[in-house]
Structure 1
Amino acid sequence: MTTQATTPRDSPAAPPALPPARGPLSESVLAVLAGSGTRLPATDAVRRSDPYGDDLQLLLYVLYELHYRGFAGVDERLEWDPDLLGVRAAAEDIFLDALRRDAGPGGRDVARAVEELQREPVGDDGHSVSHHLRREGELWQLREYAAVRSLYHLKEADPHLWVVPRLRGRAKAGMVAVEFDEFGAGRAENVHAQLFADLMTDLGLDARYGRYLDAAPAQALAVVNMMSLFGLHRRLRGALVGHFATVEITSSPGSRRLAEALRRAGAGPAAQRFYDEHVEADAVHEQVVRHEVIGGLLEDEPGLAADVVLGIEATGHLEGLLGDHLLAAWREGRSALRAPLTP
């Protein structure tokens, strides 16, 4: 059975096309997925690659995507192909090693890590995308930002669901309560992924799932790949909770700035609604995540404290790399995408 056989090409549920390769590693994997090749990259070659580079990040992204919507024409049975999983494991090893090395000081002090998340900097430190967009962002920059973020927001909250069966008690109840809101509280039109699709349409972007994968820089792929890495591995459930806490705790002030940026740029109400919704909802979610999800997890499994800290620090590290990439390009008046958007 293939995805093409089960999903009409013009259906909103249709999976995206395979993207072009970004190097020899992703080229080999994409050829196998497309059915035009049989040789996967050697494990040693994967382990020698740049953990943050385009080639490895695209390799990870396409292999993770097999667990989400897949790709047009790719046999769905390849989701659990042992050879592909072996390549993915080698790529995950060097990516996770890099995150452990580069993300921050680590440790087990979850309270300190969460407290730092709650400490909103006074003014703009020069590294904040939301401050830049609110203060001086142009409409073309807001469109690029939406295209980049679509890799996650069109599957918003999906990676976080992997952790639910790995939790119990307060942590599970709190996680599901927040996710219920993310998925529209029972109303399809209010699912946050749909709200982001509406934002994209309002900004004149193509809201099809996966449409801007080829345009997105490696830094954007790495953010989404981190979520999938943490979510798909039970041993990293603490890191997934740390990542989730970072998103929920820091979302409200950043979303307020982005909503103001969209209003200043003259975007329509659908574009503004996505971030307005997050200002209000995530302020409530923050309390649930802190006290129930993190508190409940560490009450049950105190040995996961270091992983929670890893999830918090890794999220900040990768978001920082993405923000620096975007701002460096925009301050020079050039596109931050691999291929500029059409008007």
Structure 2
Amino acid sequence: MKLPGPRGALSGALIDVLAGKATDLPAGRAPDDDEDLQLALFVCYELAYRGWDGVDDAWEWDPGLLSVRAALEDHFAAGLRELTGPPAATDPADVPALLAEAVAADDGPSLSGYLRGRATREQFREFVVHRSVYHLREADPHTWAIPRLAGRPKAALIEIQADEYGGGVTRRMHQELFKQTMGWFGLDLTYGAYVDDVGAPTLAVNNLMSYFGLHRRRRGAVLGHLAAYEMTSSLPNRAYGNGLRRLGGDAGATAFYDEHVEADAVHEQIAAHDLCGSFAAAEPELAGDVLWGARCALAVDNRWAFHVLEKWQKGLSSLRA
């Protein structure tokens, strides 16, 4: 993936160092705004995934860069606490039911309803561009949790992730199925091709997963995040598939969404009970983190959906210029 263009002084300084154009990391510098923060954090996190073209892999564990990343994470975490409040003590036995309550109480904007019945082809194409940042590495952030678990929670997570990765069949991997949707719209299938085109709300959705997944101390939160995704996936994906069919999408274009309708209906129960319920029982001190991770997932996704719909309702593009 090519290094993106800067969005502020901090992200610009960081990108310059990684590109070999400067030597001084932006230690102690606060981000200019949320665009600057989210891009800088995304640039740091990508070093732990597939990396950046022309950037030495050694930067992943560079102490100076990790210090910069930690400061960015402090800003990000403060924003999450403002959005959702901090984790709260929770009875482990209540975790599955409380996850269901959190999902049922979610009253975020219905982006799926808009895409099903009203979106133009260009708006649906923009939606696919936004989601490509995650879907081309779908499941990867949650996979970080596997070596941090044991017993029943570990088996449950592997069961979910195995489906996400197509059961070992490349063409069935969800990452690969999404390329079919992108291809129908004539989009660039290159991993990370549209990072420059999406705004801070989209990057924040991706940064949240990485923040939870890359930190062992956030293992409860990343499981809650995954549960929220699985428990809110089936119906929206049915709407996405139907919306794409309304616009003329063929079976290949809708395969990604159709696959999630069936798979996530099963994953919902596994995630709530076998994964999060058993994890909370095994590590009761982190039961509250599971619920907090789910709340963060819903809140950050809702903020992104609101941004997209607000732009469309004003007759504007939801992408950056």
TM-score, with length taken from structure 2: 0.95
Say whether the 8 Å CA contact 1:239–1:311 is kept in structure 2.
yes
Alignment counterpart, residue 2 of structure 2, candidates 7, 17, 26: 17
How far apart are the structure 2 equivalents of 1:33 and 1:159?
Answer: 23
- CA–CA distance in structure 2, aligned partners of residues 213 and 254 of structure 1: 24
Summarize deviations over 1:188-242 as a string: whole Å, max 9, x none: 1111000011110011111110000000110000010010000010000000001
- Report the equivalent of 2:185: 203
Shift of the 96–165 alpha-carbon distance from structure 1 to 2, 3 Å rule, reads same
Residue 143 of structure 2 corresponds to residue 161 of structure 1:
yes
Is 1:99 matched up with 2:84? no
**Is the partner of 2:124 in helix, strand or coil?**
helix
Aligned equivalents of 2:105 and 2:61: distance in 1?
A: 42
After TM superposition, give the deviation of residue 107 of structure 1 in Å. Answer: 2.6
Amino acid at match of 1:201: G
1:82 aligns with 2:82: no
State how far apart, in whole Å, the 1-side matches of 2:22 and 2:183 are.
37
Q: Say yes or no: does 1:234 pair with 2:216.
A: yes
**In the alignment, does 2:115 pair up with 1:130?**
no
Cα displacement (A) at 1:118:
4.5
Describe the shift of the 1:69–1:221 C-alpha distance in structure 2 as closer, same or farther (beyond 3 A): same
Q: What is the alpha-carbon distance in structure 2 between the residues aligned to residue 207 and residue 219 of structure 1?
A: 22
Q: Does 1:115 align with 2:96?
A: no
Distance 2:292 2:281 in 1: 18
Per-residue CA distance 1:258-312 (angstroms, 9 max, x = gap): 0110011112222211000000000001111111101111111011011111101
Whether contact under 8 Å (2:80, 2:296) holds in the other structure is yes
User: Which residue identity lines up with residue 189 of structure 2 in the other structure?
Assistant: A
Which amino acid in structure 2 is aligned with residue 137 of structure 1? A
Name the aligned partner's letter for residue 215 of structure 2: H
1:175 and 2:166 matched:
no
Note the 1:23-34 alignment, pairs <5 A: 23-34=8-19
Q: Could you list the runs of 5+ residues in structure 2 that have no partner in the other structure?
A: none
Percent identical: 48
TM-score (norm 1): 0.89
The question of 1:310 aligning with 2:295 is answered no
* 2-structure distance, mates of 1:116, 1:137: 30
User: How far apart are the structure 2 equivalents of 1:82 and 1:105?
Assistant: 28
- Hey, which bits of structure 1, 4+ residues long, moved more than 6 A? none
Q: Could you report, residue by residue, the CA deviation over 1:116-151 in whole angstroms, capped at 9, with x for unpaired residues?
A: 244288xxx781110111120111111000000011
Deviation by residue 1:164-205 (Cα, 9 ceiling, x = unmatched): 111111100000001000001010111100001111001111
Deviations 1:5-57 (A, max 9, x none): xxxxxxxxxxx1111000000000000100011122132x22x654xx10010
The reply on whether 1:56 has 2:37 as its aligned counterpart is yes
Q: Closer, same or farther in 2 for the Cα pair 1:232/1:105, shift >3 Å?
A: closer
Quote the Cα distance in structure 1 between the aligned partners of 2:67 and 2:51.
18
Q: 1:67 aligned to 2:48?
A: yes
How far does residue 95 in structure 1 lie from its aligned partner after superposition? 0.6
- What is the count of residue pairs matched by the alignment? 317
Matched AA of 1:94: H
- Measure how far apart 1:112 and its partner are: 5.1
RMSD: 1.5
Alignment match of 1:295 (pick from 261, 277, 280): 277
Q: Is the 8 A contact 1:22 1:54 kept in 2?
A: yes
